[in-house]
Structure 1
């Protein structure tokens, strides 16, 4: 049986030609294509500084280090997210407080943040890591207001949100512009909006933070401009660099990003039309109208308890028909590495029990999407 994946990259002839051409360059790492890709990203996001790195996880690690987070600092983050942000925070030695999420969108809200602060009696908070689950940037204005009140820094884990925009005081801003955050991170994994094979991006408007990113990304090395053989090590750093070969693919993909977003939107809208009023046990999350999506995920919330079934039964049913749906994500507190097992997150529990991600990617065919829709509708007969 040939399966329909929940996500897939689209690599075309032009992508391959540019990558192939990059192999003939004198420098295939730390070369001109890295610099050009970073310039094009700065222009796209309309931010002052952008740096590419080896993965979305590396981007999160660089962001945390570059804004000055250190052992025993306090960070808030969503209970629903890929494990990367939690892993990086714990490796640094941060005290992590998970924030409950909305039961339908899987995102934190201002109310949930304030509940977390009150429940844990937090007086000083160093950072909030937000995550625009599925590519839908909600609540930015409210997050910014809480930031001003508690004087913490905001890291945007925007790995789902490359191409998303939000409205603030009648102006639209791209996620990554860092107009209402301190730093943003992105993934260039094959399943994301655009890809470099593996890769990540960090953006900021702060010159000091930008310099930290540059240093941490490459062993903490600072070289003299006119004496390339002389250098100093200013920080304990890493090799989080991205090669020119990867950046060649990124440059080609970035040119097509608007087309990719249009195709994702078309797939999203077809799902929405088919499922919005199909069955009382299905709910499609409703997002505010003053944002533009990247359509990274299409989420269905299904009231499995009313069907006397569970999500596992539904996922097995889809797989038996060749559809590889997914769950985004297993709550962080359910993993063995999480120590405080007594924590309660009612919104997260409801979201996790009921939410399923349907296949959505640029080259998902009409025939396959129709198949997905029919098989899901048949489940409710």
Structure 2
């Protein structure tokens, strides 16, 4: 093994990030204080949304979105099967049922065709929300998905933890993920492997004033302070949750957000180097496909590998790369195949999701990587596969 081990992803924390947190620790507020609103305001401005509501993590962001929409038990939400568990689980938290959509096997994204097929399985139940995932940082085809959702009486909620900083062009219009042009809300995560990190943390963006207020109320136990009431008075019209994001973590978020453009540029440069370095390994190894409209800030560098044709199992490749100091991960196991959902809904054939799962492998990808690290990863992959 040459050089230190490369994880598949990691945070970039610098001295000024540490200083920002230390300054917050010396301040008057450790939990909810002025840095929360400052982070929300800066984030909304960065993505082009009217409102941003900070919360405990990306899963809490999805749960709050379902609560804000008042999704009811027995109603339906559609989620792609290739995603993290939380995209589907957020519907179950409020008693709604999940209909899983298939994905394009080369991008991993929900498409208009796969959404239309999923809508056909909703039956006579009420469809409330469609949750496309901007997998890896590449963006779903939002205008077409939004039109299908609208025609079915539902709204779009973008699950965008992978896509902070990603842009897209539909027609001649340049758009930003989270700007609310097509979706009622978009949710983000600041987990350490995401584009910016707060340790744990999440955000919901929206252009709807009423939704923003409801999100803020629900993240703090459902408490509201009536206008002109005594300062100690609060009222709870319905139970909420303790989903607040502390000032300490918002201090880190503000510091990290100021670096987003630099992080984005570095991720784009690393992605370009990977695309070039992987070309000689085709057709056995190819990068995940990129939709024409998408200009991503990638969160994941996914290689699609024809494992049977290489004569290696995925486990053999993972172990071979690990022995060479290269960490990998799989994003994701199809959620519809998880025991809970299999028992609840029975077996489901989603060939695109299955094909994606059978070929995908996430390679090391984070701003702290050197150009030579990309070459080392690809060389290790080539040696492991005996190519």
- The TM-score bracket by the shorter chain reads over 0.9
1:360 matched residue in structure 2: 365
Deviations 1:48-90 (A, max 9, x none): 1111001001001001110111111111000011111222221
Distance in structure 1 (CA, Å) of the matches to 2:76 and 2:188: 22
Cα distance change, pair 230–298 in 1 and its aligned pair in 2 (3 A): same
CA displacement, residues 94-137 of structure 1 (integer Å, 9 cap, x when unaligned): 11011111111111111111122234546642110110100000
Aligned counterpart, 1:262: 265
Give the match for residue 183 of structure 1: 185
TM-score (norm 2): 0.95
Secondary structure at the aligned position of 2:31 is classed as: coil
Deviation at residue 245 of structure 1 after TM alignment: 0.5
Deviation at 1:18, TM superposition (A): 0.9
The answer to whether the aligner puts 1:44 opposite 2:49 as a matched pair is no
Query: Which consecutive unaligned segments of at least 5 residues does structure 1 have?
Result: none
Aligned partner of 2:163 in structure 1 is 161
For the residue of structure 2 that corresponds to 1:238, the secondary structure is: coil
Q: Deviation per CA, 1:233-284: give whole Å up to 9, x if none.
A: 1221011001111010011111100000001111111110011353321222
Provide the rounded CA distance (Å) in 1 between the counterparts of 2:166 and 2:386: 33
Partner of 1:173: 175
Deviations 1:194-249 (A, max 9, x none): 01111000011112211110111000000135532011012210110011110100
Match of 1:150 in 2: 152
Report how many aligned residue pairs link the two structures: 381
* Residue correspondence of structure 1 range 284-363 to structure 2 within 5 A: 284-338=287-341, 339=343, 340-363=345-368
TM-aligned CA deviation for residue 367 of structure 1: 3.2
Partners of 1:301 and 1:13 in 2: CA distance = 37
70, 86, 106: which one aligns with 1:84: 86
Identify which of 67, 70, 73 aligns with 2:69.
67
Is residue 191–residue 200 contact of structure 2 (8 Å, CA) maintained in 1? yes
Please state if 1:113 is matched with 2:115: yes
Partners of 1:337 and 1:286 lie apart in 2 by 31
Q: What is the CA deviation profile of residues 169-196 of structure 1, one whole-angstrom value per residue up to 9, with x for unaligned ones? A: 4221211111101110000111111011
Instruction: With the length of structure 1 as denominator, give the TM-score of the two structures.
Output: 0.96
- The separation in 2 between residues aligned to 1:276 and 1:115, in whole angstroms, is 34
